[in-house]
Structure formats: C-alpha cells, structure tokens
Amino acid sequence: MIIDSHAHYSSFRYQNRFPYLDGNSEGLFRNHGTRQELFAHMREEGIVFLIEPSVRFSDQETQLALVREYPSYIGCALGVHPKYCMDAAWDKREKLWEYAMKNPIVAIGETGLDYSVPPEKSNRLYQKMWFLYQLRLAHACSLPLILHIREADRDGLQMLRNHKDLLHGGVVHCFGGCPKTANAYLELGFVLGIGGKLLQTNAEADILKETVREVPLESLIVETDAPYVLPDLKNVQGSKSQKSNLRNTSMILPKVIEEIARLREESPETVEQAVFANTLRVFRLHEKFFL
C-alpha cells in the first residue's frame, strides 16, 4: 500500500480528460482519462490515500470540495504557499484559522519560505510573517507541517529552531538537499518527502540520491507534487509537446520506491512497508482505515 503524501488533484489541470503519466512494471508511459477514472486506476494499483495541501488561498474552497467528494481517499492540509502568499491579504489569516478549526484536516501547509524569486519580486518579510502564523496555527491544532523550503534552508531552519516549542513534526516537501541539510531537519522531528526528483538525471538528483542512501529509512515518505515535478521522461514514448503536456500522477510512486530500494540495497517491499508506516506516523493516520 502506498500513500501519496503531497499531490494537487484539485488543480484545474485535472479537469475534463487529460494526458497523464502512468506506470507499470515495465516503465512509465502516457495515458489519458478523467480524474474519476485516474483515481479508480490508482486505487486498483495500490495507491490507497492522497494528501492534498493548499497552494493559493483562493483555491482552498475548490480543494475542500474535492476532499468532500472523496472523503475516504483524500486527506486535506490547509495553508498558504510562500510563493503565493503575496496574493493573500494579511487579514485573510483569520479565515485560514477558521478553515483549519472547522474542517477535518491532517496538516498545515504547504507553508515555509521560497527564495527562488528575487527579493525585489518577493517580499521575504511577508513570507516569514505567514510562515510564523502557520507555525502557531499548527501548534494550536496539534498538527504536523508540510514545509515548502526552496533555496531558503538557512532562514527556514533558523525559524524552526527559534520556534521549536510550536512544532508537531511534519515533512519537508520535495526535499532535494544534501545529507547535512537533511539531518538538520530530522533533528527537528521532520521527515523528507521524496518524489519525481529522485527519478531525474541532473546534479541535484545526484545529491538527493546520496541523501536517500545515508539517512534512516524511518525518515522517508513518498510524494509526487502532482501535476508537477515529473521524473525524467526520456524513455516515455511521445513527442516533446506530448511529454510537456503530461500531468504527473501518483502512478510514479512504485518507481520512486524501487529507486529508494536500489539506492539503499533493500527490497522494494521493505521500503514500501516502511514509507507507508512513516506516513501513518507523521500524519496520525490509522492503518485500519486502508484495509
């Protein structure tokens, strides 16, 4: 059984029929379908649960509607993504608190810091304000965090250390750093979200592979960030245009697990069981719910 710990299936990119990335024992390939058909397919292939975090504040109603449509298949996390917090007026924070208190959610997020945008185009102080607010919200709800920390590990770790008393664990989403950075987050009680980046061929993927080899298996969970963070598509049939239009899906996760197993010289079955148990632990889910 596999849980996708981070996906955005409420995205408009999953409306109507769409091309998506599928996979089986032979590899990855292009497929087409509706969101309902995709979910049925994923269930059949052992993807037993999804966690849907927030991105834009304005999308949260759409997100909550999807969770209500699939209450036994999708867990909701609410937050304001650092890259898009400038679109959320500061007085919206009270609405976020209200949403979090009134809806059954499994985490606060995604939240954090994103310095991939130049300072002149992104108010980093405003990001920190929203981040700290969501740390306090997670503490008030006794919930884990889904962290989005991009090119901002130094400041992100400093904020987390300064407010360690507010932390209830969580995951560093789309982690791509070195073992030293990974261990800094592990010391604060977080695990690492591993997805399509591990199946890419570039220098960052090489660093991530070293981290996956070295950290404890208990510190890893799997994710997709669907429809984003696609793996390397060089062996997927289709034109460049067809590949660029593919939506990522949870169907890549068996390949992610196989790669973790290869790197660690462990069996895929051992890794699958471990990351499933890790995800249950981090998000306080109950295994019997999936049986």
pLDDT digits (tens, 9 = 90+) for 14-52: 999 999 999 998 899 999 999 999 999 999 999 999 999
Tens digit of each residue's pLDDT (9 = 90 or more) over 166-202: 999 999 999 999 999 999 999 999 999 999 999 999 9
- Nearest 10 degrees: CA dihedral of 49, 52, 53, 59? -170
Tens digit of each residue's pLDDT (9 = 90 or more) over 277-289: 999 999 999 865 6
Q: What is the CATH number of domain 2-290?
A: 3.20.20.140
Q: Model-level pTM? A: 0.96
pLDDT for 140 beyond 70: yes
Instruction: Please name the residue that has the structure tokens 């664990």.
Output: 169
**Would you list the domain boundaries of the chain?**
2-290
Q: Of the candidates 1, 65, 74, which has an alpha carbon nearest to the alpha carbon of residue 38? A: 74
Q: Of the candidates 27, 46, 111, which has an alpha carbon nearest to the alpha carbon of residue 276? A: 46
Structural tokens at position 9:
């299936």
pLDDT band at 106 (very low <50, low <70, confident <90, very high): very high
Structural tokens at position 238:
């289709």
Mean pLDDT of the chain: 95
Report d(CA 109, CA 188) in Å as an integer. 17
Report d(CA 18, CA 5) in Å as an integer. 22
- Nearest 10 degrees: CA dihedral of 131, 146, 87, 14? 180
Q: For residue 29, give every residue at least 6 positions away whose Cβ sits within 8 Å of its Cβ, in sequence order, or none.
A: 21, 22, 23, 236, 237
What is the model's pLDDT at position 290?
60
